[in-house]
Structure 1
Amino acid sequence: MSDFKLAVNENNKATELPLLRVCGTVQQNPHMRAFWASTISFFLAFLGWFALAPLGLEVATSMGQCENQLYPTAEYPKRVAYLKYKNLKSGLEYCQYGKVLDSNDAPTDCQPVPADKLLTGTDEEKLQYRPAVLAKCVCTTGTSCNGMIANAGVAAVASTIFVRIALGTLLERFGPVNVQSGLLSFGAFWVAMAAAISAPWNYTLIRFFIGCAGATFVTNQFWCSLMFAPNVIGTANATAAGWGNLGGGVTQIFMISVLFNPMVDSGMLPDTAWRVAMVVPAVLFVVCAVSMKLLCWDTPTAKRFDVAVTGKTQKPSLWDYVEVLKDVRVLVMIMQYSACFGTELAMNNQLATHFRTYFQMAAADASALAGAFGLMNLFARSLGGITSDLLFKYIGFRGRIWAQFLSLFFEAIFLFCFGLVDNSQPWYVALAVLVFFSLFVQMAEGTSYGIVPFMNKQQLAIVSALVGAGGNLGAVIAGFCFYRPIDDPLLPFQVHAGYVMFWALLSPCYYWSEHGGMFHGPAVVQKSLPKVEAAETAV
Structure 2
Amino acid sequence: MLRGLLSFRDRYRILNYAWVAFFLTFVVWFNYAPFVTVIREELHLTIAQSRTISLCNLALTIPARIIIGTILDRLGPRVTFSAILIYAALPCWAFAGAQNFSQLVLSRLAMGIVGAGFVVGVRLVGDWFESDDIGLAQGIYGGWGNFGSFASQAFLPIVALANAGFENWRLAIALSGLISLGFGVLFYLNVQNTPPGKRYQRSDRGGMEVTSRASFWVLTLTNLPLFLVLGSIAWRLQLVNFLTPHTMYQIWLFLVGLFFLQTYHTFEINREVILGQTIYPAKDRYQIGQLFILELAYAVSFGSELAVVSMLPEYFEETFNLGRQIASLVAATYPLMNLVARPAGGLISDKSGSRKWALTLTIGGVGLSYLMMSKINPSMGLPWAILLTMFCAFFVFAGAGATFGIAPLIERRVTGQIAGNISAYGSVGSVLYAMTYSLLPQTVAGNNAFFQIIGVTGMVVACLCALLLKEPKVAKGDAESVTISR
Same fold per superposition (TM over 0.5): yes
Aligned partner of 2:98 in structure 1 is 197
Q: Secondary structure at the match of 2:7?
A: coil
Offset at residue 383 of structure 1 (A):
0.5
TM-score for the superposition, normalised by structure 2: 0.79
Contact preservation (8 Å) 1:297, 1:303: no
Aligned partner of 1:511 in structure 2 is 470
How far apart, CA to CA, are the structure 2 residues paired with 1:247 and 1:150?
Answer: 21
Q: Are residues 1:359 and 2:259 paired? A: no
How far apart, CA to CA, are the structure 2 residues paired with 1:401 and 1:241?
Answer: 19
Offset at residue 205 of structure 1 (A):
1.6
When residues 291 and 34 of structure 1 are mapped into structure 2, their CA distance, relative to the original with a 3 A threshold, is same
Out of 267, 281, 296, which is 2:191 matched to?
296
Q: Are residues 1:234 and 2:135 paired? A: yes
Q: How does 1:484-499 map to 2 (within 5 A)?
A: 484-487=439-442, 488-499=446-457
How far apart, CA to CA, are the structure 2 residues paired with 1:362 and 1:209?
Answer: 30
Aligned partner of 2:114 in structure 1 is 213
How far apart, CA to CA, are the structure 2 residues paired with 1:199 and 1:223?
Answer: 39
Out of 159, 162, 179, which is 1:284 matched to?
179
Q: How does 1:48-87 map to 2 (within 5 A)?
A: 48-65=28-45
Aligned partner of 1:537 in structure 2 is 481
Contact preservation (8 Å) 2:85, 2:184: yes
Q: Secondary structure at the match of 1:465?
A: helix
How far apart, CA to CA, are the structure 2 residues paired with 1:56 and 1:537?
Answer: 45
Aligned partner of 2:302 in structure 1 is 341
Contact preservation (8 Å) 2:130, 2:479: no
Out of 4, 8, 20, which is 1:40 matched to?
20
Higher radius of gyration, 1 or 2:
1
| Higher relative contact order (CA closer than 8 Å, sequence separation 6+) | 2
Offset at residue 484 of structure 1 (A):
3.1
Aligned partner of 1:183 in structure 2 is 84
Offset at residue 16 of structure 1 (A):
9.7
Aligned partner of 1:450 in structure 2 is 405
What is the aligned residue count? 407
When residues 378 and 16 of structure 1 are mapped into structure 2, their CA distance, relative to the original with a 3 A threshold, is closer
Contact preservation (8 Å) 2:201, 2:413: no
Q: Describe the superposition over 1:12-62 as per-residue Cα deviations: whole angstroms up to 9, x where unpaired.
A: xxx998111214xxxxx2x22321111001101101111111101111111
Q: Describe the superposition over 1:80-109 as per-residue Cα deviations: whole angstroms up to 9, x where unpaired.
A: xxxxxxxxxxxxxxxxxxxxxxxxxxxxxx
Aligned partner of 2:425 in structure 1 is 470
Contact preservation (8 Å) 1:172, 1:316: no
Offset at residue 319 of structure 1 (A):
4.9
Out of 400, 419, 428, which is 2:355 matched to?
400
Q: Secondary structure at the match of 1:48?
A: helix
Aligned partner of 2:239 in structure 1 is none
Q: Describe the superposition over 1:260-296 as per-residue Cα deviations: whole angstroms up to 9, x where unpaired.
A: 222235xxxx54x111111111111111100011111
Offset at residue 204 of structure 1 (A):
1.8
Q: Are residues 1:369 and 2:369 paired? A: no
Q: How does 1:82-231 map to 2 (within 5 A)?
A: 145-231=46-132
Q: Secondary structure at the match of 1:379?
A: helix
Q: Secondary structure at the match of 2:196?
A: coil
Aligned partner of 2:245 in structure 1 is none
Question: Structure 1 unaligned runs (5+)?
Answer: 1-14, 24-28, 66-144, 393-398, 516-524
When residues 48 and 18 of structure 1 are mapped into structure 2, their CA distance, relative to the original with a 3 A threshold, is same
Aligned partner of 2:391 in structure 1 is 436
Q: Are residues 1:382 and 2:343 paired? A: yes
How far apart, CA to CA, are the structure 2 residues paired with 1:190 and 1:208?
Answer: 9
Offset at residue 342 of structure 1 (A):
0.4
Q: Describe the superposition over 1:124-165 as per-residue Cα deviations: whole angstroms up to 9, x where unpaired.
A: xxxxxxxxxxxxxxxxxxxxx322222111111121111101
When residues 303 and 361 of structure 1 are mapped into structure 2, their CA distance, relative to the original with a 3 A threshold, is farther
